[in-house]
Chains A and B, each alone.
Chain A
């Protein structure tokens, strides 16, 4: 089944403790992206990648890192999490170019930083 897999689904952590949220897709998509979603603010893009070893900042990259060493994986790293990073996070993937395909989203990761 074509899908984007995110782990974990839920995570509670303490301020300053490094964490990684994993994202993997099995559709051979070139494009992958991370979003955070907060009440009243909609989906905001954190980082995106157009292919292996090609990453770029989105609208809200501060406090986050990403890597794209393999086409299928695009982990999101919080080196020193803070309470303002408490949010619902989504990974998404897509082929590059135009067409009637949008994004395929992962199931989401609800992160709480205390």
Chain B
């Protein structure tokens, strides 16, 4: 199985940059996903990493280091609407099908 750890809560200021970390342990790593989830709503896909390095998508970037079992999601120019939970999820080739295992999520609060 996988252990996926991410901080429970973070607070940041509007306009700033925040980095949300995720560490994982898996025997057959086959991709890491970040999802955004506003309270009471469905998670929505943000990013995907399978090779080491940085993937940039507008204000959001995601980094992966497979040797360290580590990823981070970087949010720039924070806006109030970025207040949400951010879920790290790992796909393991030893899992049946395409199963993702989710971390507990990081609740980000953006303050004015």
Name the CB-closest residue of B to A42. B104
Q: Mark A76-114, 1 if CB is under 8 A from B, else 0.
A: 000000000000101000111110111111111010000
User: What is the CA–CA distance of A96 and B97 in the complex, to the nearest angstrom?
Assistant: 6
Q: How far is the CA of A102 from the CA of B33 in the complex (A)?
A: 7
Cβ of B97 and Cβ of A31 under 8 Å apart? yes
Q: Are A41 and B33 in contact (CB under 8 A)?
A: no
From B10-18, B37-45, B64-72, B73-81, the one touching the partner chain is: B37-45
CB pair A102 B48 closer than 8 Å: yes
B41 contact set on A, CB distance < 8 A: 107-108
Residues of chain B within 8 A (CB-CB) of A98 are 30-31, 50, 91, 93, 98
User: What is the distance, in angstroms, from B23's C-beta to the closest C-beta of chain A?
Assistant: 15
Contact of B42 among A33, A90, A100 (CB under 8 A): A90
B99 CB to closest chain A CB (Å) equals 7
Question: B100 near A: Cβ within 8 Å?
Answer: yes
Q: Given B31, B33, B99, B102, which contacts A42 in the complex, CB threshold below 8 Å?
A: B102
Q: What's the minimum C-beta distance from B10 to chain A, rounded to whole angstroms?
A: 16
Residues A100 and B104 in contact in the complex (CB < 8 Å), given A31-B98, A95-B98, A105-B43: no
Knowing A42-B104, A43-B87 are in contact, say whether A102-B96 is a contact too (CB < 8 A).
no
* Residues of chain B within 8 A of A62, CB atoms compared: none
B97 proximity list for chain A (CB < 8 A)? 30-31, 48, 50, 96
* Whole-angstrom distance between the Cβ of B103 and the nearest chain A Cβ: 7
Complex CA distance for A95 and B105, rounded to whole angstroms: 24
Given contacts A42-B102, A102-B33, A105-B43, 14 further A-B contacts (CB under 8 A): A30-B97, A31-B99, A33-B99, A42-B104, A43-B43, A48-B96, A48-B99, A90-B42, A94-B98, A95-B98, A96-B97, A102-B89, A106-B42, A107-B42
Residues of B within 8 A of A (CB): 30-31, 33, 35, 40-45, 48, 50, 87, 89, 91, 93, 96-100, 102-105
A interface list, Cβ under 8 A from B = 30-31, 33, 40-43, 45, 48, 50, 56, 88, 90, 94-98, 100-108, 110
